[in-house]
């Protein structure tokens, strides 16, 4: 028995019980009301009214019974129609959800339900569509991840195969082949580490150990680490901080990781002779770090996806420079794990500014 039949039968049973109860109560309580009315009529008529007492009572009972019997078919028809429409509507929604669920289990994540009602049934259809959309996004992300990882591994594996064949054929000296193999293995290890880190970021499983940090010491360490890399490329690095900044509450290792990701990204996209600026200012309840480059900038349609896993505005250049496309994803996850926020501001031809905030030291 399907949902429609069960709902319709249950409605009709409820209607039959209600009708039976109505007739039973009417037969039990009605005489008490019309007998009192008859007694007043008989008293008003006088002695002759006593002879009419029985006829009046029988007439009122007959009239009540006739009225109820006459109204019963129309009431049953109306009730059956209402029950049919209600059961059909609910059954239709349940059937659509069952069909949609079956298609989703078969991998058709594009399935959507159509509903114009504003009640709970419409809300169920809306929630189903939201669930299907989320599953579709997960499936698309899974396919993209597999494709990206396969693409990233293809280049080092091909290089490893070339070095191995060259070594076996005697074309490459053993030392040169070993250096090449070691380089490609490090590239694959870096990819595996990035995948592990980004998976923990997306699962919210990153551990942070915040403590009070002085901003000047953080910036001094950052500048010391990157001075040589910027000088070798011919890109300027300026670090500026407002005076009297309070300590921040952050994990020192994770904070340096965030800043490193942003500086590496800025250095990669800044032409020779240009400059990267790291600015630190105080806001209402947080410290704002901003890394500004003088690169080509990012178009609006790309900015909306810039923090997605493995997303690249310029895939070829990023791969050539050794990036795996997860640096910004990891940086954003680390900042949020330290109770901060992260964003980007950019205009084409005007460079980009990646910023994040971290809270003051807890008291």
Per-residue pLDDT reduced to its tens digit, 147-182: 777 877 887 888 888 888 888 888 888 888 888 888
The whole-number pLDDT of residue 33 equals 66
Does residue 205 register a pLDDT over 50? yes
pLDDT in tens, 230-241: 999 999 999 988
Averaged pLDDT of the chain: 80
Strand ranges for the chain from DSSP E: 211-213, 236-241, 248-250, 275-282, 286-292, 341-347, 351-359
Instruction: Give the range with max mean pLDDT: 48-52, 217-221, 302-306.
Output: 217-221
Would you state the structure tokens that stand for residue 180, as one six-digit string?
């090449």
H or E segment and range at residue 4: helix 3-45
CATH for the stretch 121-202: 1.10.287.130
Angle at 91 between CA 87 and CA 94, to 5 degrees: 150
Q: Name beta bridge partners: 356.
A: 289, 342
Q: How sure is the predictor about 320, in pLDDT bands with cuts at 50, 70 and 90? A: very low
Residues 285-317 have pLDDT tens digits of 899 999 999 989 888 888 877 887 766 665 544
Question: How many percent of the chain have pLDDT more than 90?
Answer: 23
* Average pLDDT of the residues in 117-146: 79
Helix (H) or strand (E) holding 241: strand 236-241
SS3 148: helix
How many angstroms separate the CA atoms of 94 and 109, rounded?
18
Q: Is 282 within 8 Å of 229 (Cβ atoms)?
A: no
pLDDT value at residue 318: 45
Q: Is the pLDDT of residue 56 over 90?
A: no
Give the integer Cα–Cα distance in Å for 276 and 287: 19
Answer yes or no: is pLDDT of 319 > 50. Answer: no
Q: What is the pLDDT of residue 287?
A: 94
Q: pTM here?
A: 0.58
Query: Which tens digits make up the pLDDT trace of 107-124?
Result: 787 888 776 667 777 788
CATH topology of domain 211-359: Heat Shock Protein 90 (3.30.565)
Q: What is the DSSP letter of 338?
A: T
Share of the chain above pLDDT 70, in %: 83
Which range, of 82-96, 199-213, 326-340, averages the lowest pLDDT? Answer: 82-96
For the chain, give every residue range classified as CATH 3.30.565.10: 211-359
Helix axis angle for 174-202 and 120-169, nearest 10°, is 170
CB of 206 within 8 A of CB of 333?
yes
Looking at residue 198, its pLDDT comes to 77
Q: Is the pLDDT of residue 89 over 70?
A: yes
Q: Is residue 79 very low, low, confident or very high in pLDDT (cuts 50, 70, 90)?
A: confident
With a cut of 50, say whether residue 204 has pLDDT above it: yes
For CATH 1.10.287.130, list the domain ranges present in the chain.
121-202
């Amino acid at each position: 028995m399907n949902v429609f039949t069960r709902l319709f039968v249950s409605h009709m049973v409820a209607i039959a019980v209600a009708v039976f109860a109505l007739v039973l109560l009417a037969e039990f309580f009605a005489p008490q009301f019309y007998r009192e009315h008859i007694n007043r009529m008989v008293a008003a008529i006088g002695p002759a009214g006593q002879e009419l007492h029985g006829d009046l009572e029988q007439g009122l009972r007959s009239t009540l019974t006739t009225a109820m019997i006459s109204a019963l078919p129309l009431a049953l028809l109306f009730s059956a129609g209402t029950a049919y429409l209600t059961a059909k509507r609910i059954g239709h929604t349940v059937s659509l959800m069952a069909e949609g669920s079956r298609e989703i289990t078969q991998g058709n994540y594009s399935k959507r339900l159509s509903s114009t009602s504003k009640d709970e049934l419409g809300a169920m259809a809306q929630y189903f569509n939201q669930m299907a959309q989320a599953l579709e996004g997960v499936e698309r992300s899974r396919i993209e991840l597999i494709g990206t990882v396969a693409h990233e591994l293809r280049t080092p594996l091909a290089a490893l195969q070339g070095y191995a064949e060259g070594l076996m054929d005697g074309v490459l000296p053993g030392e040169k082949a070993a250096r090449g193999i070691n380089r490609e293995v490090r590239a694959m290890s870096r990819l595996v580490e990035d995948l592990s880190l980004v998976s923990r970021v997306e699962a919210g499983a990153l551990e942070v150990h915040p403590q009070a940090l002085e901003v000047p010491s953080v910036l001094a360490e950052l500048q010391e680490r990157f001075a040589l890399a910027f000088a070798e490329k011919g890109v300027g690095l300026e670090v500026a901080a407002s005076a009297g900044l309070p300590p921040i509450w952050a994990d020192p290792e994770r904070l340096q990781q965030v800043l490193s990701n942003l500086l590496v990204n800025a250095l990669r996209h800044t032409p020779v002779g240009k400059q990267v600026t790291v600015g630190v200012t105080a806001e209402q309840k947080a410290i704002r770090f901003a890394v500004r480059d003088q690169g080509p900038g990012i178009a609006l349609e790309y900015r909306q996806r810039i923090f997605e896993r493995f997303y690249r505005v310029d895939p070829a250049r990023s791969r050539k420079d050794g990036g795996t496309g997860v640096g910004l994803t990891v940086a954003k996850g680390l900042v949020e794990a330290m109770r901060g926020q992260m964003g980007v501001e950019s205009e084409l031809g005007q460079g980009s500014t990646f910023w994040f905030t971290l809270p003051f030291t807890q008291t």
